[in-house]
């Protein structure tokens, strides 16, 4: 029997789709604003397209068209009488500066991952995936700019305090490792804050390790080092007192082995601090979470595919609390305390044996 079609709902859904495409297009415009310095230029005060273009040292015609998108997209205001565009102060907080509120860098992930959409479509048909190597070196840069302001704001004051007594241990002096360290910014922040402790950052990517080393040198740190290492092979001796993983387990090819090696490499009273995406492992429990579609999308476009590319577990970004807890228990962690991170996207797992 043919299903009755509700014309009104068709219209509404078509509108919803067009809204999605408009939002996606505006995300590219935000990316352009971030890359060209237009938000910083506009935050200096209202100006015509000519004035804003001059402040940013850019081509006026491009800037005017971009301002058209910004204005009709409710990001800027426009005063037709004076021809002045203005970025409201509240919007400027979310689009400029060095605080964790600056979300402009996050827009970059769309263009970056979007480059691989054809290959990912192919993987839907033929299996496999797009390996990490195809995302590099840009991936390291994008992750760094997406995360560094948040880590500057929250790592020491918000993430580490979740583990009782850890900060005191770090102050006294312990051995710590960060696995899947990416650009190494977390290692360098901790090394600067806790000069009595020593830190090593492990990543499989040479470009990431080079970045970590360069920043450590720039910061004059003698207690931070970086090493190219597949973390399925974390050395089990000498033991670490602390191992951290920031957003670095769910995209592993072999996460079960990584977690087991972490547990084996820890001293008996050591801590594994895992910061990972806040979600349920059950899709029905993620309905209504406004960022869930973004997270599942990132998973398809990156976190799951990089694992499946090597015939891996393909946990994906939204592996969720239930799967995480099961895998941590299987790896030997008998005490796992989970709490909400001080940012809206993550959970903190404090794991001890
Ligand atoms: C999503 S990024 C997170 C980077 C960083 N922790 C951050 O928060 O910005 C995951 C990182 O894990 C690294 N990685 C993935 N699999 C790895 C493995 N088996 N061994 C070492 N590093 C790995 C990747 O190269 C990448 O830099």
Per-residue pLDDT tens over the stretch 140-151:
999 999 999 999
Place of tokens 């084996």: 264
Residues 156 and 286 occupy one common structural domain: yes
Residue 227 φ then ψ, to 5°: -145, 135
Do 227 and 290 belong together in one domain?
yes
Q: Which atom of ligand 1 is nearest to the CA of 181?
A: 6
Give the number of other Cβ atoms within 10 Å of residue 283's Cβ: 12
Local confidence pLDDT in tens for the 353 residues of the chain:
678 999 999 999 999 999 999 999 999 999 999 999 999 999 999 999 999 999 999 999 999 999 999 999 999 999 999 999 999 999 999 999 999 999 999 999 999 999 999 999 999 999 999 999 999 999 999 999 999 999 999 999 999 999 999 999 999 999 999 999 999 999 999 999 999 999 999 999 999 999 999 999 999 999 999 999 999 999 999 999 999 999 999 999 999 999 999 999 999 999 999 999 999 999 999 999 999 999 999 999 999 999 999 999 999 999 999 999 999 999 999 999 999 999 999 999 999 98
Structural domain of 222: 113-352
Q: In terms of domains, do 117 and 92 share one?
A: no
Helices 7-36, 60-72: crossing angle, 10 deg rounding: 140
Tens-place pLDDT, residues 168-200: 999 999 999 999 999 999 999 999 999 999 999
Atom of ligand 1 nearest to the CA of 178: 6
* In a domain? residue 102: no
**78 and 170: one domain?**
no
Which of 36, 67, 96 terminates a domain? The answer is 96
Residues 322 and 330: their CA atoms lie apart, in Å, by 12
Supply the CATH number for residue 316's domain: 3.40.50.150
Ligand 1, atom 18, lies closest to the CA of 230
How far is ligand 1, taken at its centre, from the CA of residue 104, in Å?
22
Owner of token pair 């450590």? 216
Let me know if residue 103 belongs to a domain.
Answer: no
Between the CA of 179 and the centroid of ligand 1 the distance, in Å, is 7
d(CA 295, CA 318): 7
Residue 101 in domain:
no
Q: Are residues 83 and 123 in the same domain?
A: no
**β-bridge partners, 321:** none
Cα(77) to centroid(ligand 1), Å = 40
- Asked if residue 267 belongs to a domain, the reply is yes
Q: Give domain status of residue 241, yes or no.
A: yes
Report the domain count for the chain. Answer: 2
CA–CA dist 184, 201 (Å, integer): 6
Looking at the structure, tell me whether residues 118 and 146 fall in a common domain.
yes
Q: Which two tokens stand for residue 314?
A: 């393909």
Same domain, 233 and 287: yes
238 and 341 housed in the same domain: yes
Do 32 and 139 share a structural domain? no
**Which helix (H) or strand (E) covers residue 166, if one does?**
helix 166-172
What distance in angstroms lies between residue 14's CA and the mean position of ligand 1's atoms?
A: 39
**Which residues lie with the beta carbon below 6 Å from any ligand 1 atom?**
132, 143, 147, 180-182, 202-205, 208, 230-232, 246-248, 251-252
If 0-12 CB within 10 Å is exposed, 13-18 middle and 19+ buried, where does residue 190 land? buried
Q: Distance from the CA of 230 to the center of ligand 1, in angstroms?
A: 10
Alpha carbon nearest to ligand 1 atom 19, residue = 230
Residues 158, 51 within the same domain: no
Tell how far the Cα of 82 is from the centroid of ligand 1, in angstroms: 50
Closest CA to 198 of 238, 217, 170: 170
Closest ligand 1 atom to Cα of 252? 16
Give, for ligand 1, the residue of 139, 182, 302, 348 to mutate: max count of ligand atoms closer than 8 Å to Cβ. 182
Do 130 and 56 reside in the same domain of the chain? no
Which residue, of 96, 130, 159, is where some domain finishes? 96
- What's the CA-to-centroid distance between 132 and ligand 1, angstroms? 9
Name the pTM for this structure: 0.95
Q: Per 3-state DSSP, what percentage of the chain is helix, strand, and coil (rounded to 5)?
A: 55, 15, 30
Residue 75's CATH number = 1.10.10.10
Residue 285 lies in a domain: yes
Q: Report the nearest atom of ligand 1 relative to the CA of 248.
A: 10
Question: How remote is the CA of residue 255 from the centroid of ligand 1, in Å?
Answer: 12
Supply the residue whose CA is at minimum distance from atom 4 of ligand 1: 182
Which residue of 105, 183, 248 sits with most ligand 1 atoms within 8 Å of its CB, as the best mutation to test the pocket? Answer: 248
Residue 203 alpha carbon to ligand 1 centre in Å: 6
Q: At which of 37, 69, 96 does a domain end? A: 96
User: 334 and 193: one domain?
Assistant: yes
């Amino acid at each position: 029997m043919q299903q009755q079609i509700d014309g009104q709902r068709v219209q509404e859904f078509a509108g919803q789709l067009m809204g999605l495409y408009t939002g996606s297009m505006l995300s590219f415009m935000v990316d352009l604003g971030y890359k060209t310095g237009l938000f910083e230029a506009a935050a200096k005060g209202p100006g015509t397209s000519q004035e804003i273009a001059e402040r940013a040292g850019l081509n006026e015609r491009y800037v005017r068209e971009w301002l058209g998108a910004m204005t009709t997209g409710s990001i800027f205001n426009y005063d037709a009488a004076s021809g002045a565009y203005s970025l409201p102060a509240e919007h400027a907080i979310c689009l400029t500066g060095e605080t964790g509120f600056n979300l402009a860098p996050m827009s970059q992930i769309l263009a970056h991952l979007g480059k691989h959409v054809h290959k990912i479509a192919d993987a839907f048909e033929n299996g496999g995936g797009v390996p990490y190597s195809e995302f590099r070196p840009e991936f390291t840069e994008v992750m760094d700019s997406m995360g560094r302001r948040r880590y500057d704001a929250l790592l020491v004051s918000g993430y580490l305090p979740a583990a009782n007594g850890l900060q005191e241990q770090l102050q006294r002096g312990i051995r710590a490792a960060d696995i899947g360290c990416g650009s190494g910014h977390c290692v360098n922040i901790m090394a600067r804050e806790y000069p009595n402790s020593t830190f090593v950052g492990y990543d499989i990517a040479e470009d990431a390790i080079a970045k970590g080393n360069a920043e450590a040198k720039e910061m004059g740190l003698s207690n931070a080092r970086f090493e190219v290492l597949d973390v399925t092979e974390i050395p089990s001796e000498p033991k670490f007192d602390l191992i951290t993983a920031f957003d670095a387990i769910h995209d592993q090819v072999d996460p079960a082995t990584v977690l087991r090696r972490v547990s084996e490499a820890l001293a008996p009273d050591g801590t594994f601090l895992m910061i990972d995406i806040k979600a349920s492992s059950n899709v029905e429990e993620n309905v209504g979470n406004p960022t869930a579609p973004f997270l599942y999308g990132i998973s398809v476009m990156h976190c799951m595919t990089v694992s499946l590319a090597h015939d891996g577990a393909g946990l994906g970004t939204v592996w969720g609390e239930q799967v995480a807890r099961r895998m941590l228990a299987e790896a030997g962690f008998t005490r796992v305390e989970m709490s909400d991170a001080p940012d809206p996207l993550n959970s903190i797992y404090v794991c001890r044996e």
